[in-house]
Structure 1
Amino acid sequence: MKNLFHKWNQISLVKRILVGIIAGILLALLVPDGAKWVSIFGSLFVGALKAVAPVLVLFLVIDAISKQRSGAKTNIKSIIGLYAISTFLAGFVAVVASFVFPVKLSLVTGAEDLTPPSGILEVLQTLLFNIVDNPINALINANYIGILAWAIVLGIALKSANDTTKTLLSNVSDAITTVVKWIISLAPLGIMGLVFDAFVTNGLSSLMEYGKILALLLGCLFFIALVVNPLIVYVYIRQNPYPLVFRCIRESGMTAFFTRSSAANIPVNMNLCEKLGLNKDTYSVSIPLGGTINMGGAAVTISVLTLAAVHTLGIEVDFGTALILSVLSAVSAAGASGVAGGSLLLIPLASSLFGIPNDVAMQVVAVGFIIGVLQDSCETALNSSSDVLFTATAEYAKKRKEKKNVVIKSA
């Protein structure tokens, strides 16, 4: 039994996850009632990731900043720039696609009890209050903006601490990282439970009625992941971007697709950054930050569903006004994690740009929840995998620039 377990662990994690996916599908199709206990593995896996992620972020960032030498350089500014460019382009692509392939909705009801933000100021206010949140409350509620803020402040304060304290912080950080690796090794079981639950609970029949809007959304998300983001990476590193792109999708996007949680995928992304040999001082900050502000998938969702409402109501919109939507959706998407309901509840905010009444906009939100089985999964996969992609891109671009400068000096 021990040898069998050892051989199983020697197989690559991606292949083991694929086995879990197939097993989950087969169990859902063959014994949907007799294997309901399987879904508990998915709940436990997501719960474990969500539990460890806030603590991981807190100690990794404190450890990285407290040990950072004066004058040490990280790539955070470049990474934030990449996040902003990608999120804006995602919204822009969604606007263009919505004009080329206009889709109308059969509006439904059932979203009246949800409360969207009243304006962009409310979104920004929520973000600001998250920054000054109580640290214990931030950890309990997985408020990563608050966790990052406290971790940065504590890390700076501990820069003058003695070596014993810094060693303790480093040991705790390493211990939590080890726990994360143990949890990730259980991903095949967790994914099997999530797949089983998704097939038994939702199926695919409910998506047929909304096939057109779902196809437009997924088409935009895939275009961003496979065309726009690789182009951005190529501009920075001047190399074939697809090996890195596909690795991020395979090892980060696949897990995010099934967990449907950027927060739960933070430990997975940290682990992938370590395997890629990236600077820990950089990725310990950029990955949790990306989980909050790198929201290209959310920008796509906001733009596509808002313009679907515009087309449904027959509102005449020039492309210039729609372009403003790209900016608004990018800014709103960055605040999506601070709003209950995520990107879907920011649709009324974007709809107000075109004078669409709130009750109609909330019906569009309801449509979003109906197609959310696939939409939310693909959106999260794009958002989370691109966190690693752009963190790696910034570091590779820096190394390329340094190598170029060395060649110029030697010449």
Structure 2
Amino acid sequence: MFEKYRSVSLILRIIIGLAVGVLLGVTVPTLTGIGLMGDLFVGALKGIAPVLVFFLIMAAVSHYQKGSETHFGSVIVLYLTATLLSAFAAVGASYAFPVRLDLTKVAKTAASGPKDLGTVLTDLFNNAVTNPFQAVASGNYLAILFWALMIGFALRLTSVQTRQVITDLSEAITNVAQTVIQFAPFGIAGLVFKTVSTKGLAGIARYGQLVALLVGTMAFVYLVLYPLMVWVMTRQNPYPLTLWTLRVSGLPAFFTRSSAVNIPINLQACEDLGLNKKSYAVSIPLGGSANSGGAAITVSVMTLAACATLNIPVSFPLAIILCFLTALAATGASGIAGGSLLIIPMAASIFGISNDIAMEVVGVGFVIGVIQDSVETAVNSASDLLFTATAEYRDRRRAGEKVDISAAVRGAIAKERGGAPAKDTVPRAAVKPAE
């Protein structure tokens, strides 16, 4: 029965779960047991995601060989550039379409001046060196990333057998994460039921302007800015790859709301594209915790909305500081659902906004999270796949090879459907030696 269940497309199963959740939330809102499925699903995601990222990065780095073709430099530049550009886009959108929030503690604006940037950065770096066991237990992805890299490089000095044990563990944990993903339709039905039954469709709709600003900015970033980056790097039409990554990775991430748990899906997509496993085995888990363009948008928009509500003037220098701070702080925030909301108080502090008001803004974020966090995660996860492929194609092009992105995507689609790749789309065939 489980195999028959898995034979149905995951996207189709998720859509059915979404519809069932809405229907039950409207018709039988008092049937609270349904919401338990959502709580169990979120708990499973939060439990497995930090462990998955830790072991995947550690195992991949432990097998890194000096001089091997990994495209790390290009991937990291793309990740950092995308996050920073996303923050700038969010600030520009907030200036063009200012939004005010319905806050109950507006009169309690902090009297003190903004916290200095040095203090904020000190707190951030201290957070990165938290005890690794505590980091995994609490879902501190910045510390998980730091310690996974450190331990992974140290494991390079150990025996092959030791490194193989770590690899086997990472594969076992990946299988557990894939099993959790298979139950996403039930979890999503529970989550949607809980949201609709408690807040109602009208309760979510009253934040429509804020949701429209967030979703509109994320759509602009993924459909305009990111394709422009891909074109600059590859000099080819970016939209076949952009739209394919949005469907293959963005849609599942939209419903699971976890970049970390979506890692196995991205790894499979990279294999379907015929990419270099030594590269994507590291860059995909790394992106799951470090590539946070969607998170940067959320934090910037929500912070500036709070400033507009409190009539706090935002000077251009402070806006620039917010962009860089948001881009830096967003790293590691997108691994689990709602992670970006928790760094809003830190961003708000540079404008002198009290923690009480900042936490109320976070509360607003959780209200609209069923849409905001889903779209944010879709942007984050799909761009991990997009930039991993772009980095490899760019480096191959610079090495004198002919790259055909459209052919690579056609080959990946053929593999998805279980058929043989087209004649011009064999694995890694999107890359042909230049004549």
Same fold (TM over 0.5): yes
| 2:91 is the alignment partner of 1:92 | no
Are the counterparts in 1 of residues 253 and 374 from structure 2 also a CA contact under 8 Å? yes
Aligned to 1:211: 208
Secondary structure at the aligned position of 1:53 is classed as: helix
Deviates more, 1:315-324 or 1:120-129: 315-324
Unaligned runs of 5+ in 1: none
| 2:28 is the alignment partner of 1:37 | no
Are the counterparts in 2 of residues 108 and 367 from structure 1 also a CA contact under 8 Å? no
**C-alpha distance after superposition, 1:32-59 (max 9, x if no partner):** 334x333333333333333333333333
The structure-2 alpha-carbon separation of the partners of 1:111 and 1:362, relative to structure 1 and needing over 3 Å to count, comes to farther
1:97 Cα deviation from its structure 2 partner: 1.8
Aligned to 1:221: 218
Aligned to 1:66: 62
Give me the whole-angstrom Cα distance separating, in 2, the residues matched to 1:204 and 1:356.
31
| Runs of 4 or more above 6 Å deviation | 405-410
Aligned to 2:182: 185
Paired AA for residue 45 in structure 1: F
**C-alpha distance after superposition, 1:173-224 (max 9, x if no partner):** 3333333333323333333333223322333312343332332222112211
1:391 Cα deviation from its structure 2 partner: 1.9
User: Structure 2-normalised TM-score?
Assistant: 0.78
Matches within 5 A, 1:114-125: 118-125=115-122
Aligned to 1:326: 323
Aligned to 2:253: 256
The structure-2 alpha-carbon separation of the partners of 1:271 and 1:212, relative to structure 1 and needing over 3 Å to count, comes to same
| 2:79 is the alignment partner of 1:83 | yes
Are the counterparts in 1 of residues 35 and 193 from structure 2 also a CA contact under 8 Å? yes
Are the counterparts in 1 of residues 334 and 380 from structure 2 also a CA contact under 8 Å? no
| 2:19 is the alignment partner of 1:22 | yes
Aligned to 2:48: 52
User: Structure 1-normalised TM-score?
Assistant: 0.82
Paired AA for residue 19 in structure 1: I
1:110 Cα deviation from its structure 2 partner: 9.4
Aligned to 2:233: 236
Are the counterparts in 1 of residues 401 and 434 from structure 2 also a CA contact under 8 Å? no
The structure-2 alpha-carbon separation of the partners of 1:151 and 1:335, relative to structure 1 and needing over 3 Å to count, comes to closer
The structure 1 residue matched to 2:164, chosen from 164, 167, 173, is: 167
Give me the whole-angstrom Cα distance separating, in 1, the residues matched to 2:256 and 2:434.
50
Are the counterparts in 2 of residues 302 and 350 from structure 1 also a CA contact under 8 Å? yes
* Structure 1 or 2: more helix by fraction: 1
Give me the whole-angstrom Cα distance separating, in 1, the residues matched to 2:300 and 2:211.
13
| 2:307 is the alignment partner of 1:301 | no
Give me the whole-angstrom Cα distance separating, in 2, the residues matched to 1:63 and 1:95.
38
Give me the whole-angstrom Cα distance separating, in 2, the residues matched to 1:160 and 1:336.
31
The structure-2 alpha-carbon separation of the partners of 1:154 and 1:347, relative to structure 1 and needing over 3 Å to count, comes to closer
The structure-2 alpha-carbon separation of the partners of 1:55 and 1:333, relative to structure 1 and needing over 3 Å to count, comes to closer
The structure-2 alpha-carbon separation of the partners of 1:265 and 1:7, relative to structure 1 and needing over 3 Å to count, comes to closer
The structure-2 alpha-carbon separation of the partners of 1:118 and 1:355, relative to structure 1 and needing over 3 Å to count, comes to closer
Paired AA for residue 88 in structure 1: L
1:74 Cα deviation from its structure 2 partner: 1.6
Aligned to 1:287: 284
Secondary structure at the aligned position of 2:207 is classed as: helix
The structure-2 alpha-carbon separation of the partners of 1:72 and 1:46, relative to structure 1 and needing over 3 Å to count, comes to same
* Greater RCO structure (CA 8 Å; 6+ sep): 1
Give me the whole-angstrom Cα distance separating, in 2, the residues matched to 1:188 and 1:370.
21
**C-alpha distance after superposition, 1:227-278 (max 9, x if no partner):** 2222222222333333333333334333333343444444444444444444
